[in-house]
């Protein structure tokens, strides 16, 4: 199933940018969590491979990832820790992260926890808690965004009017995608929820703001990052 075929129309993921890192210490063992926004199993595994090289002297590089708007790809790896004490607790921390009241929809995220053993055995229960806490505490402060599947609509307006119209549309709460520029016009691209009422309201607003001079033409859908409410 592709992103365009997914049942979900919105989910939460990491904001674009560099890897997010967070560390905790439990009974002298260091747990370094690295989070990366990933859209494929290959990119998730590249994160693990890169951290193995960077932290080559660490004993464990445990991992978990969840991918896709419907979160249909889920993997975890204990990397030498006792079975079920690292990868699965990490995956559960990703899956159960509450992104809004009552909502658990985090996806397209890979987590790797690098462990430096501190000389004190934690036991199975202690390992489960440590790996879960390491990922959960990283997610508490990691930058997140909503990713929404929106209908991209276009309106061609004169260059001189484009800036004002774009500002007015943003002020009205509409999401703007990247504009394009022709010889005579600027084509503003507006990302609208793919629902008839939302489409009609957006088209009417463009007509009103341009005194009927511009028409909003619907196109295909794209996944767009929008800030969390």
Same domain, residue pair 55 and 102: yes
Same domain, residue pair 154 and 108: no
Work out the average pLDDT over 162-171. Answer: 93
Same domain, residue pair 119 and 14: yes
Quote the pLDDT of residue 184: 86
Is residue 102 left, alpha or beta, with left meaning phi > 0 and alpha meaning psi from -120 to 50?
left
176-193 per-position pLDDT tens digit: 988 999 888 999 999 999
Work out the average pLDDT over 130-148. Answer: 97
Given the structure tokens 């075929």, which residue do they identify?
A: 5
What's the domain count of the chain? 2
Same domain, residue pair 195 and 122: no
Same domain, residue pair 75 and 181: no
Same domain, residue pair 153 and 137: no
**Does the structure show a pLDDT above 50 at 1?**
no
Same domain, residue pair 53 and 71: yes
Of the candidates 93, 126, 142, which is a domain's last residue? 142
Residue span of the structural domain in which 68 resides: 3-142
Of the candidates 110, 142, 174, which is a domain's last residue? 142
Q: What is the CATH number of the domain that holds 193?
A: 3.30.70.240
Specify the DSSP class assigned to residue 210: T
| Average pLDDT over the chain, rounded to an integer | 94
Same domain, residue pair 165 and 115: no
Of the candidates 113, 142, 171, which is a domain's last residue? 142
Would you say 129 and 210 are in contact if contact means Cβ atoms under 8 Å apart?
no
What string of DSSP letters covers 123-190?
HHHHHHHHHHHHHHHHHHHS-EEEEEEEEEEEEEEEHHHHHHHHHHHHHTTPEEEEEEE-SSEEEEEE
| Residue 70 burial (C-beta neighbours within 10 Å; 0-12, 13-18, 19+) | middle
Quote the pLDDT of residue 69: 95
Same domain, residue pair 41 and 97: yes
Q: How far apart are CA 60 and CA 78, in angstroms?
A: 8
Quote the pLDDT of residue 7: 84
Q: How far apart are CA 50 and CA 125, in angstroms?
A: 29
Same domain, residue pair 56 and 28: yes
Angle at 11 between CA 187 and CA 218, to 5 degrees: 25
Given the structure tokens 């390992």, which residue do they identify?
A: 127
Q: How far apart are CA 161 and CA 137, in angstroms?
A: 47
Same domain, residue pair 40 and 13: yes
Same domain, residue pair 95 and 155: no
Q: What is the CATH number of the domain that holds 98?
A: 3.30.230.30
Rg from Cα positions in the chain? 22
2-43 per-position pLDDT tens digit: 555 678 889 999 999 999 999 999 999 999 999 999 999 999
């Amino acid at each position: 199933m592709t992103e365009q075929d997914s049942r979900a129309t919105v989910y939460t993921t990491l904001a674009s940018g560099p890897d997010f890192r967070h560390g905790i210490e439990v009974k002298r063992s260091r747990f370094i969590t690295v989070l990366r926004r990933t859209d494929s199993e290959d990119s998730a595994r590249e994160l693990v491979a890169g951290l193995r090289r960077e932290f080559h002297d660490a004993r464990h590089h445990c991992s978990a990832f969840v991918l896709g708007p419907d979160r249909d790809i889920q993997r975890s790896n204990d990397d030498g820790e006792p079975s079920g004490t690292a990868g699965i607790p990490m995956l559960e921390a990703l899956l159960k992260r509450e992104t809004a009241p009552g909502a658990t929809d985090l996806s397209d995220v890979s987590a790797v926890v690098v462990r430096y053993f501190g000389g004190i055995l934690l036991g199975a229960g202690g390992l489960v808690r440590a790996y879960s806490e390491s990922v959960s505490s990283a997610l508490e402060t990691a930058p997140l965004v909503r990713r929404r599947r929106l209908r991209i609509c276009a309106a061609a307006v004169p260059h001189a009017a484009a800036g004002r119209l774009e500002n007015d549309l943003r002020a009205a709460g509409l999401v703007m995608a990247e504009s394009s520029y022709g010889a005579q016009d600027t084509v503003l691209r507006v990302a609208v929820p793919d629902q008839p009422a939302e489409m009609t309201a957006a088209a009417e607003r463009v007509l009103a703001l341009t005194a009927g001079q511009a028409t909003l033409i619907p196109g295909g859908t794209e996944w767009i990052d929008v800030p969390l409410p």
